[in-house]
Chains A and B, each alone.
Chain A
Amino acid sequence: MEPLKVTAEQIGLHPGEEYEEDQLELDLGNLLAFDPEPVEAGGDIDGACLSLATKLTQTLISKLFKLPTEASDAGPLALLPPPSTLLPRAKPIPKPREPTKWEKFAKQKGIQKRKRSKLVFDEDNQEYRRRFGYKRAGDMSEVPIIEANKSNEGQEDPFAAQKKQKRERVKAQDKRQLENLKVTARAGGAAALPSTLRLAASLPEHGKGRPAKRKELHDDIKVASRQAGVATASMGKFDKRLKGEKAGERRLPGKQRKFAPVADPTGTERTIQTSMVDKMLRERADDVLDVGKAVGRMEAGRRETRRQEKQQHGDDGPSLIGTGMKKRGKMAGRSKHGRSADAPSSDRKGGSRGKVAGGASKKRMSQGSSLRKGRGGGGGSKRRGGKS
């Protein structure tokens, strides 16, 4: 019997009709296909739509099936490229948070945040406890007895004092937070604030957010009345004095020049001038000590001396040691060359100039320092001392 030949079409298997290459604009990231040719309806729009949709979907799906896939429990997942159709965003791109006063200072000073363990050993309870929060190590509020000593004897209740201190710390932190947020709001408007926080105008706080009473605002009223008093053409000179107003009170507070005494045995002039110099220095003290920089500078100096030392050693080495050592010296020289060849030349000279080198060379420096420690820096330091 001859085998029966059956084509795929005969058993109802046939691939759908597809568009040619480059006839469509495809955006696989959005599962989107676009045919830019005019639609030919010819009276039957429904039929035209169906055939268009079928052809477009067939092309789109065949493209999607050719994408790289990833296996999953629910079946193969096609990895989509990012969408190519640009659409407007719903909201602006979030901006990075303005650094706080502390963060600015820490950056200037080169202080780096270090990771601390969540648990610490609590000596009192002889177990590991959380560093912060509920049931923390060394929680003073859980201590039943506070021993009297010289500092707290005869004073107020130490437990109350603790609570008070805590309240004050919280209040101080709230104040710092508010100040930081105010700076942020001034720089970038209300939109720059975190989404959960809002700054609102408020009356001066007396008690629990209660508006101030008239009696408490007495001074403000007084100032207002004095200002009103001088707000006339004669600056209040010819106006009637108010009830309870004293003679000189209405005069505008002008700037009064003060002269330091000519002969001054108490040294007031000296203190004034030194304080002014101090203030200026403080204002201009932008480059506060950067620890990282300083360490780098010192390392570079040490490296330079070590290099010089080595050179000296290499010059008179061969005569002393002989062939074996000569070989070793050569090797050391070669490897050193190999290591520093990739570094820029200025970097190599860094030590002599006392310049601070970049991150990559810093690493190398630290390696050097550890080597030096291993050999014992005694001889080296002696030599350095002799040289200087």
Chain B
Amino acid sequence: MAGPQLPPQTKLVKPKTKRGKRALEKREPKLVEDTKKALLLHGGKVSQVVQDALGSINKLKQGECVRYTRRNDDARPFEAGGEARLEHFARKSDCSLFALANHSKKRPHNIVLGRFYNHQLLDMLEFGIEQHKSIAAFRAAASAVQVGNKPCMAFAGDGFTQVPELKLAKSLLIDFFRGQQVASVNLKGFKHVILVATLDRRLHLRQYAISLKRSGTKVPRVELEEMGPRLELSLRRVQAAAPDVESLAMKQPKTSKKKEKNVSTDLLEGKVARVYVPQQNLDTIALRKTKGSKRERRSSKLEEVAAAAAGVERPAKQARSS
């Protein structure tokens, strides 16, 4: 297989500063990926509602995002070639999720959520915002939640298993809000839960602050208080991932397991291992001594003579005992 042709004269371009090099290294593909960053931006025109909703998503995402505040008339991902601008921004800001807000007569209070694979558009969903209530509209329940706190997530509704668009929505929302991937979590650290319920092709997104109360058992009783933001979204256009790109994107790295030495599997015996047993010295080993196994004095003397004749060394200890 012949690769791409290189120009006859090629030079190596290296980063000019150490800082630049580190920045590039940060962006390179990793085996275990960091939390996905989201790009929050405006399309053509925006309404106050979508602008506020974008702010709420920013809060929910807790800093793992890049927010652009200027309008981008050419960001129309559902139109042919309209995703180029978004992909360009994704590459620049190294984001793999996006939320694009716009507002038009045909699609009022519109928000598009989507994701990229290798800085190319993978899939996206368009929602209309029916209702939005920001964190400020609720009581100060949100004060307990700190930035970087991994949220619990709860989904409810039959739509998430039956409607393909909502299946995608579930996957997308988990990707957006699940936070950092961790191996362990502090049992005192469950501070908030994001609920997404679906009813008649609508999504109800709520966030609650958790307070753990004593229950008389080891497991505490959960009490929730709504802390916002509250979003009610209706489904609009959808673009699912191309099957070939999706299968590429879904490929998970093999977690390298160190090969076990001297262990193999046998068709009949199952797991078979080879064990190294060092050579045993039967002369000095502690065995049960019976009368019959004792050597007579005379024969042992004869033996010694014979051994001396053969020029074989015997252990010193035994020579003394005989």
Contacts and interface: CB of A to CB of B under 8 A. Distances in A.
Contacts of A54: 222-224
A61 B188 CA distance: 11
A90 B117 contact: yes
Contacts of B306: 321-325
Interface in A172-230: 174, 177-178, 181-182, 185-190, 194-205
A15 B212 CA distance: 11
B193 interface: yes
A69 B307 CA distance: 65
A94 B3 contact: no
Contacts of A61: 152, 190, 210, 212, 219-220, 222
Contacts of B198: 39
Instruction: Name the residue in B25, B222, B302 with the highest tally of chain A Cβ atoms < 10 Å from its Cβ.
Output: B222
A36 B116 contact: no
Contact of B199 (A34, A39, A360): A39
A356 B214 CA distance: 69
A65 interface: yes
A89 B33 contact: yes
B268 interface: no
Interface in A47-99: 48-50, 52-54, 56-58, 60-62, 64-66, 69-70, 72, 74-80, 83, 85-94
A365 interface: no
Interface string B140-183: 00000000001111111110110000000011001100100111
Contact of A181 (B12, B171, B215): B12
A195 B27 contact: yes
Contacts of A46: 226
A93 B253 contact: yes
A322 B28 CA distance: 75
Contacts of B161: 36
Contacts of B181: 29, 83
A30 interface: yes
Nearest to A69: B187
A33 interface: yes
A91 B29 contact: yes
Nearest to B123: A88
A123 interface: no
B185 A80 contact: yes
B219 A62 contact: yes
A32 interface: yes
A321 B9 contact: no
B187 A85 contact: no
A49 B134 CA distance: 17
Contacts of A69: 187
Interface stretch (A268-276, A335-343, A380-388): A335-343
A95 B264 CA distance: 28
Contact of B250 (A32, A86, A187, A360): A86
B161 to A, nearest CB: 5
A331 interface: yes
B81 interface: no
A338 B175 CA distance: 58
Contact of A93 (B29, B96, B155): B29
Interface in B231-270: 241, 246, 248-253, 262
Contacts of A339: 277, 279
A244 interface: no
A62 B15 CA distance: 51
B272 to A, nearest CB: 10
Interface in A1-41: 8, 13-16, 29-39, 41
A31 B150 contact: yes
A202 B10 contact: yes
B7 A91 contact: no
A31 B210 CA distance: 14
A118 to B, nearest CB: 22
A14 B175 CA distance: 35
Nearest to A93: B253
Given A57-B210, A186-B6, A196-B14, A64 B310 contact: no
Given A30-B174, A91-B29, A91-B118, A322 B12 contact: no
A50 B208 contact: yes
B14 A335 contact: no
Nearest to A53: B195
Interface in B109-140: 115-118, 122
Nearest to B97: A90
Interface in B288-322: 299, 302-304, 306-307, 309-310, 312
A13 B186 contact: no
A320 interface: yes
A370 to B, nearest CB: 14
A42 B189 CA distance: 34
A64 B186 contact: no
Contacts of B122: 88
Given A56-B156, A77-B186, A322-B306, A8 B9 contact: no
Contacts of A49: 195, 197, 204, 206
Contact of B248 (A33, A92, A182): A92
Contacts of A187: 3
Contacts of A77: 184-187
Given A50-B226, A85-B171, A88-B250, A64 B199 contact: no
Contacts of A45: 197, 199, 204
7 A-B pairs with the lowest CB-CB distances in the bound complex, closest first: A195-B28, A90-B96, A88-B249, A322-B306, A13-B216, A91-B29, A56-B154
9 contacts: A35-B154, A36-B157, A75-B187, A76-B186, A88-B241, A89-B251, A89-B252, A90-B117, A196-B15
Given A14-B216, A90-B117, A322-B302, 16 more contacts: A13-B214, A13-B215, A16-B215, A30-B174, A31-B152, A32-B155, A53-B193, A58-B221, A78-B184, A87-B171, A89-B117, A90-B96, A92-B248, A186-B2, A196-B14, A324-B306
